[in-house]
Amino acid sequence: MAKSLKTLCITSLSFLLFSCSGIYEVDESLQKSHAPKQWSSDLLTTNIKEDWFEQLKNEQVHQLVALALSNNFQLIQQSLAIEIQQQQLTIAGSALWPSLDMSLRGSRQKTVDADNTANYGNSVSLGLNLQYELDLWGKLSDAERQANLELMAQQATFEQAKQQLVADVITAWFSVIEANQLVALYQQRSDNTQQNLLIIESGYQQGLNSALDVYLTRNEVNTELSRTSDQQAKKILAIRQLEQLLGQYPEGKLFVEADLPLLSSEIPLGLPTDLVSRKPELLASWYQLLAKDASLAYAHKQRFPSVSITASLSNNEQDISDLLSASSLGWSLLGSIAMPLFNAGKLEANEEKARLVLKQTEQGYLSTLYDAFADVENSVTLESSLKERYQMMIKAKENAIAAETLSFEQYQSGLVEYTTVLDAQSRSYDAQSTVIQIKNQLIVNRINLHIALGGDFARSTNTAALPQHEPGKE
């Protein structure tokens, strides 16, 4: 009978250990199995440039990026989230170690004997309790593994947020430059229109022009002044957006003076499989998936027995000075096994819930993965289109400026109506503003492409210290 019971225990233990070892469901090959071998277009596949930000030689933008990395509120929140998760890892890891508690109690009692005599007595007790749960099934290790993976996910999320912040600051900086150039262009349009009005009013007084031409020109002057005012407001809004990224009060007074560079170089993209292990957003999603896998293993092992050891030392004396007397110390050692028998399906439901969350997170990872591929493909397609548009608009700008000059000369000669002049002027200024906007769109798209590829903005980023923040200090 004893032999049969021993065999049954060994068989049950072997089954439980096998069940524990096979609970993980995430296949490591999933991380790269969905990545294509090549991009859909004929693109460069050499290693991407990690220090793309260093290619911007303007000192101001480097200072602004450094300021944003130190002061941006959202980035500081992300760094604090890492510190919180580090504490959570410590909490999870503490379950693998014994816990030691000490208790000290004191009491004073009054008793009355038969002859109504009051007696007073003191009692002091000291206890030490040691508790330790054996990680027989690896349940506690799974909890620690989950916390560690969540920390890694949070660190990758922080890295992605840092890269995105740099991109946002540079994009906002170029948006201010674009706004500056458009304000200058619209101001030039206003000045030219006012000069035309003086010429036409002078001709009208001499009987050379009609009143209609005067009214049309005055209308054009007011329209251009309105556009200039609107663009000046947009410039202030762009500056305020940049100031907010820097963690500064949005006064709209930051001075930016630079030009929009024309990007003509190609960008090497690397292979799609490189993107999986390089882009922080994908790494964060992958670590979250592995953390959910560890959570499923923990939920599964909650259904198994827990084995604990409890040891205690205690003493009870009338005088506190006698508590540490070795001769009167009492001790006890207790081993216990606790196993859930009936909980109305709670533990089974928790395991199934963890399994469904894991499947949900897996689909989320795949969605994030394909979104990353789409971001690269879309940015490459858009860059090609923008370059073609820019070349066409350069030619359109040259032709429109020539047509504007010629139309006004022909109007003064009486060959065309003034409406022809207005149409030529509108086409000229629209072409010039479009050229400025496309140059900025090319820059923004190139920045977005670097982010989509997971290209770091500086080689030293991975070893850089996290932003430090102390409550009550700026």
Mean pLDDT for each 10-residue chunk of the chain (474 residues)?
45 47 67 75 58 78 92 95 95 91 74 72 76 89 94 95 93 94 92 88 83 88 92 94 94 89 71 80 93 93 90 66 58 76 87 92 92 89 90 94 91 86 90 94 90 73 35 36
pLDDT at residue 459 in the model: 53
Q: Sheet containing 118-134: which strands, arranged edge to edge?
A: 99-112, 118-134, 306-317, 330-338
What token pair was written down for 82?
């890492």
Give the Å distances, CA to CA, from 40 to 37, 46, 238, 369, 374: 10, 16, 36, 16, 10
A 10 A CB-CB count for 150 gives 22
Residue closest to 448 by CA, chosen among 375, 384, 367, 374:
375
Distance of CA 349 to the CA centre of its chain: 33
Distance of CA 260 to the CA centre of its chain: 28
Q: Is domain 27-102+138-304+347-463 given the CATH code 1.20.1600.10 in the classification?
A: yes
Predicted TM-score (pTM) above 0.95 = no
Residue 114, classified by CB atoms within 10 Å of its CB into exposed (0-12), middle (13-18) or buried (19+), is exposed
DSSP assignment string, 334-401? EEEEE----STTHHHHHHHHHHHHHHHHHHHHHHHHHHHHHHHHHHHHHHHHHHHHHHHHHHHHHHHH
The Cα–Cα gap between 295 and 155 comes to 19
Query: What residues does each domain of the chain span?
Result: 27-102+138-304+347-463
pLDDT at residue 90 in the model: 94
pLDDT at residue 7 in the model: 46
Helical ranges in 34-94 per DSSP H: 59-71, 73-94
